[in-house]
Amino acid sequence: MSAFTPSLPYTGAVQAVVLDWAGTAVDYGCMGPADVFVKVFAAFEIAVTVEEARQFMGLEKKEHIRSMCRLPRVAGQWQAKHGQAPDENDVERLYARTEPMMVAALADHAEPIRGLLPFVEDMRRRNVKIGSCTGYTAPMMAVLVPEAARRGYAPDGAVCSSDVPAGRPFPWMCYLNAIQLQVYPLAAMIKIGDTVSDIEEGRNAGMWTVGLTQSGNELGLPENAVEALPPDVLNRRLAAIETRYREAGANYVVRGIWDCIDVVEEIGGRLANGDHPCVCIPRVDA
């Protein structure tokens, strides 16, 4: 770790990256969790769309359910079916069904996204540490981490929502990554994710933030479906995602982890010039 004087800008190297899991590092399209939420609500005779399920992706899973229950269409169905609007007891009932279903699904959604392993190899060469964080809970990560390792991806640390007082957009998972990796200052770290809540989390932590438009939840398509889209349709949808990320304060926006080696290189140069993630102008790469 490089020492620095707080009154002066940090001009050292990038020391660590913190990657989200589903849609960023593994599970192209973030397919596993979206399907689980649809099935969980269906078990209570409530029809939710995949789009409604994806709307709150990146949040801690109980907060995700709580947010879905606040949607007028979902709350209205619940009122009609169960005689009242969903309350906290209902959130607990939904979550009790969610966790085992999510655990069961994760083993089938642990394949590294194209470009992840070369990215990790490049970070190792640069002596950049690799942290991770997620809206998944400890029982879910107990399945996902070894499955990903079996496929070649093993970050230096894995922090989940149940390890901290609150999940995204609070910065606690990023802070715990910094502690575990022994990295300081936070401006020497880069948060990479595929949801608006990832961007908000990284910004709140004082890290550089990178939003991924194509591989993750915001587009929400498996790789073969992405490749089948007409280029103009894909570009239009990615542009809308870029706009949401820019509004959330992302420093960089790229399509996937395969584009992030160059981003780390550029951030390293900007740090050397005294740039700080919280005062620089957000940028978008096509």
6 band by pLDDT with thresholds 50, 70 and 90: low
pLDDT single digits (tens) 92-138: 999 999 989 988 888 889 999 999 999 999 999 999 999 999 988 89
Q: Catalytic residues, which ones?
A: 20, 61
For residues 41 and 48, the answer to whether their CB atoms sit within 8 Å is yes
pLDDT of residue 3: 57
**pTM value?**
0.85
Let me know: does 110 contact 132? Beta carbons within 8 Å: no
Task: List domains and CATH numbers for the chain.
Answer: 16-30+110-272 (3.40.50.1000), 32-106 (1.10.150.240)
Q: Please state which of the ranges 24-28, 57-61, 85-89, 181-185 shows the lowest mean pLDDT.
A: 57-61
Count of alpha carbons within 13 Å of 195, Cβ hemisphere only?
Answer: 26
The per-residue pLDDT for 33 is 83
Q: What is the pLDDT of residues 214-268, one digit of tens each?
A: 999 999 999 999 999 999 999 999 999 999 999 999 999 999 999 999 999 999 9
How many residues can be counted in the chain?
286
Residue 7 confidence (pLDDT): 63
Residue 279's pLDDT is what? Answer: 60
